[in-house]
Amino acid sequence: MAAQELLDPIDFVGPSGRLLIDTSVFMDDRPERRGGLKALLQRCGQTIRLNDNPIVIPIDVVEELTKQSRKVDPERAEAIRRAGVSLGFIGDAAALGLVRTDIGHDSNHYADSVFEAIFTRYANQYDMCLLINDITPLLHVRLLSHTSSKKLVAGSLTSDGRVRIESDQILYERGVRKLRRKQDEGDAREVAALSPLLADFKGQFGTSELADRRTGSPVLGSPSAESGVRCRVEPFDREPAFKGADSLLEVATIPSVGDKVHFSSPSGSGSVVLDELLGEGGEGAAYAVHGDRVVKIFDRDHVTRHRQAKVEQFASRSLYSQGICFPEAVVTNDAGEFVGYMMPRARGNEFRVIMNPRRFLKAFPGWTKADLVDVCISFLEKVSYLHSLNVIVGDINPKNVIVDASKNVWMIDADSWQVDGYPCPVGTPMFTAASALGRPYAESLRTSEEELFAVATMLFMVLITGQFPYARTGSDGDIARLIKDGNFAFQVGERSNRDQPEGNWKYMWSHMPRGLKEMFWNTFHREGQRYTSPPSAEEWLRAFRQYRWWLGSDKNFDPMSNDVYPFRFKAFKPETPILECPQCNRRNALVGEWNEATQDHVIPGMCFDCSQQNRPRCSDCGTPRPAGALKDGRCRDCNRKRDFGTCERCGTETPHRYLVGGRCSQCQLGTCKSCKKSVLKSDLSYGRCTACERRGNELDPLRLCTDCRQSFIDFDHIEWFKGKGLDVAKSHVAIKKQCPPRTTSVQPASSQRYPNVPRAATTTTKQAASKSSARPQPTFWERLKKWWNG
């Protein structure tokens, strides 16, 4: 791309386009741009009227101009005059149908981000052009254009009514210059908005740094992302050494409500009375002071050396950023001892409200998925900023993050953050990476990977409204075990998993965009590519901004994807019919099912929930089942649970009726009829134990054939004769066997006494004999098999 490009705005007032103007264009008094608005209307007027597609001047812009025009400030007289003139211009142009001012006041709370909202929302619907001079929206639109299927541009208005579009590199450099300016001014909100945007921009377009590169602030997880962007605030040490164990500090008194405390910060010091007790936690109490400030006073067990050092570190840097409760001042008691700190007051609900449907619906009625995504983005902006300062939040959990009704997120509990080698002494098992589980949190520093595991877990739990990533069926509830197993049960693509937990979580998961699902899967599943190096806050920010855009785009074809609590899987394709369920009348409840045979969609008669409700339920577990699947009113599993027991010896599941004395038939005990010992029934053969059976088959070495002088008869056979009251046979012939052929002249007598030596010969004889004399009958099973197979 050339350094700049001039576009004719007429392309954006056709039927498929939108042209928008920002306040800055009206307020631009540079002589070289004079006459631009007039030239613009001259160029586009006809086409606008032809297509009835007026230029959009959002209501927010009109309000801003109105505010400007009403100011009384002699030094800004020209600007005030200009604002008034612009209002007249807009009014008249609107009367002519050339501009419209009925758009704006998006649910989004930033007045200046109305364009961001519009562009994000319609990025894939219209070709859009924004006339604006402010660099932040210029960057945003350029970024968005990269992923959009439509033409999205933003630039300044030239005096001949054309749009000046600058190159990626120039935009980037302007952005960096603005960031530096804002940092110097200490405008934390702008810095928080701009720095991730620039990092994204650089990542996307590979723009290079300014020539006068200054020392950078490394960003956690993506060291290159922000290098070159100088922070006015010095970041904390990037790789500090562990400061060791904490120790208690002696304090004479712990102030409480009504007491006076003293505060000191670089910007001043003084005293203040602890007004109202806001709450008590595990470490101390929080009091309102000065209306919008909070003083946290530790209890005796938590006034420690580390906490003091951290609070002093933060306060000395005068850190301020919207949504982050940085300690601003060190608070001491009358004796001058450290007891707590002062910080901005966060207002709103703890994140865990999002994680409980009952509380969520009460606190934030009407929220959609997009609102939850905005909350994630706000959370990530804060985390990303903290990481850029080399602060590790440590104990990320749903009670340490606050969100208000305008989706502003607040990070609280700064005294537990890990900074400058002082560890975060507490944690929450669900948000603890496998590598940090099982040891006290205070004993070592958390790694950035461990921190990013917690970030990923939090994002997942906000989107899925509270479910734990590793929740799955068949666990014994051991959270640490689940994390260590790394068996992420939510499935994506071909990776199926039968252990997904019950409930609507699978639907929420199903409605997420594929890319985000992959990101979660790769982070949480032990076979995932990011399992050991979770995505950084910046990476997540990009993904969530993309998600936000996707929700408003035409790529998001299933209306239920916008719901916080979807109750069915996402429709498969854009052309899938989505209908209201005729039974429960819930919108979008029915989804056509593709039938390969007819090559058409089949519309079910009612939604899944209704068909479940119409089904009979298992009387034991309450699960709805098809009528035929219940036996005695119970499902197969419950019948099994009811009718089956576990054999206490081998653990095999066996129907109760086959369990005798708690054991299955295989594990029953019996008595060997020969030796009378108690052995497993399954080991008995014809009533004898294996030892006795083996012995019965051995030839009696002491009884020798009268003909050949060799052993010839086994013990069983002897017993048989005895049992009949007969004399035991004395030769091979008498038991219908033949004497073995004599190969050697005479067997030494001694060998006959020891059966080991001649056994080989004798057993062969016996086997041969038995084969010839009694051909074994086929067993019952063999006969049955033959009968069955025909």
Partner 1 sequence: MTFDIRAADLVENPTPRVPVSLCIDTSGSMAGDKIRELVEGIGLFYDAIDEDDDAHDSAEVSVVAFNTGANLVQDFASVEGLQRDITIAPSGLTHLGEGVNLALDTLEKRKSLYSDTGVLYFQPWLVLMTDGQPNGDKSELERAIQRVTRMVASKKLTVFPIGIGSDADLDVLGRFTPEKPPLRLKGIDFKEFFEWLSKSVSKVSQSMPGGEPPIDFGSIRGIEDL
Chain positions contacting partner 1, by CB under 8 A: 282, 352, 355-359, 361, 395, 397, 399-400, 416, 425-430, 438-443, 464-468, 471-477, 479, 482, 489, 499-505, 565, 584-586, 609, 621
Q: Give residues with Cβ within 8 angstroms of 6, minimum separation 6.
A: 158, 162, 163, 164, 165
Question: 59 or 442, CB closer to partner 1?
Answer: 442
Least separation, in Å, of the C-beta of 423 and partner 1? 11
For residue 680 the two structure tokens come to 């497993």
Question: 206 or 357, CB closer to partner 1?
Answer: 357
Least separation, in Å, of the C-beta of 306 and partner 1? 13
User: Residue 143 CB: number of other CB atoms within 10 A?
Assistant: 24
What is d(CA 711, CA 697) in angstroms, rounded to the nearest whole number?
A: 13
Least separation, in Å, of the C-beta of 412 and partner 1? 12
Could you tell me which of 383, 705, 316, 322 has the C-alpha nearest to residue 544? 383
Tell me which amino acid residue 455 is: V
Question: 249 or 361, CB closer to partner 1?
Answer: 361
Question: 46 or 646, CB closer to partner 1?
Answer: 646
User: Residue 322 CB: number of other CB atoms within 10 A?
Assistant: 19
Question: 188 or 483, CB closer to partner 1?
Answer: 483
Dihedral sign computed on CA atoms, order 272, 273, 276, 281: positive
Question: 413 or 714, CB closer to partner 1?
Answer: 413
250, with CB counted inside 10 A (0-12, 13-18, 19+), is exposed
Could you tell me which of 128, 133, 172, 156 has the C-alpha nearest to residue 1? 172
Helix segments in 666-725, DSSP class H: 690-696, 715-723
What is d(CA 364, CA 17) in angstroms, rounded to the nearest whole number?
A: 35
What is d(CA 438, CA 427) in angstroms, rounded to the nearest whole number?
A: 11
Instruction: Indicate the SS3 state at residue 566.
Output: coil
Could you tell me which of 452, 420, 422, 416 has the C-alpha nearest to residue 436? 452
Helical axes 135-147 vs 114-122, angle rounded to 10°: 10
Question: 663 or 688, CB closer to partner 1?
Answer: 663
What is d(CA 783, CA 790) in angstroms, rounded to the nearest whole number?
A: 10
Q: Is-contact 461 439, C-beta < 8 A?
A: no
What is d(CA 496, CA 519) in angstroms, rounded to the nearest whole number?
A: 16
Question: 622 or 741, CB closer to partner 1?
Answer: 622
Least separation, in Å, of the C-beta of 607 and partner 1? 9
What is d(CA 297, CA 287) in angstroms, rounded to the nearest whole number?
A: 8
Question: 206 or 438, CB closer to partner 1?
Answer: 438
37, with CB counted inside 10 A (0-12, 13-18, 19+), is buried
Q: Is-contact 562 370, C-beta < 8 A?
A: yes
Phi, psi angle pair for 688, to nearest 5°: -120, 150
Tell me which amino acid residue 197 is: L
Question: 193 or 471, CB closer to partner 1?
Answer: 471
> Between the CA atoms of 204, 210, 216 and 218, what dihedral angle is there, to the nearest 10 degrees?
10
DSSP code per residue over 432-458: --GGGTTS-GGGSPPPHHHHHHHHHHH
What is d(CA 5, CA 2) in angstroms, rounded to the nearest whole number?
A: 7
Could you tell me which of 565, 594, 570, 568 has the C-alpha nearest to residue 581? 568
Question: 416 or 765, CB closer to partner 1?
Answer: 416
Least separation, in Å, of the C-beta of 345 and partner 1? 20
Question: 94 or 437, CB closer to partner 1?
Answer: 437
DSSP assigned state of 200: H
For residue 597 the two structure tokens come to 């045979």
Q: Is-contact 312 419, C-beta < 8 A?
A: no
Least separation, in Å, of the C-beta of 578 and partner 1? 17
Dihedral sign computed on CA atoms, order 182, 185, 187, 191: positive
For residue 466 the two structure tokens come to 């509270």
Least separation, in Å, of the C-beta of 673 and partner 1? 33
Bridge pairing between strands 55-56 and 99-100: parallel
Question: 399 or 771, CB closer to partner 1?
Answer: 399
Q: Is-contact 718 730, C-beta < 8 A?
A: no
Question: 119 or 488, CB closer to partner 1?
Answer: 488
Question: 475 or 652, CB closer to partner 1?
Answer: 475
Question: 262 or 359, CB closer to partner 1?
Answer: 359
Least separation, in Å, of the C-beta of 8 and partner 1? 52
Least separation, in Å, of the C-beta of 471 and partner 1? 5
Least separation, in Å, of the C-beta of 425 and partner 1? 6
For residue 645 the two structure tokens come to 């027991």
User: Residue 204 CB: number of other CB atoms within 10 A?
Assistant: 14
Question: 273 or 426, CB closer to partner 1?
Answer: 426
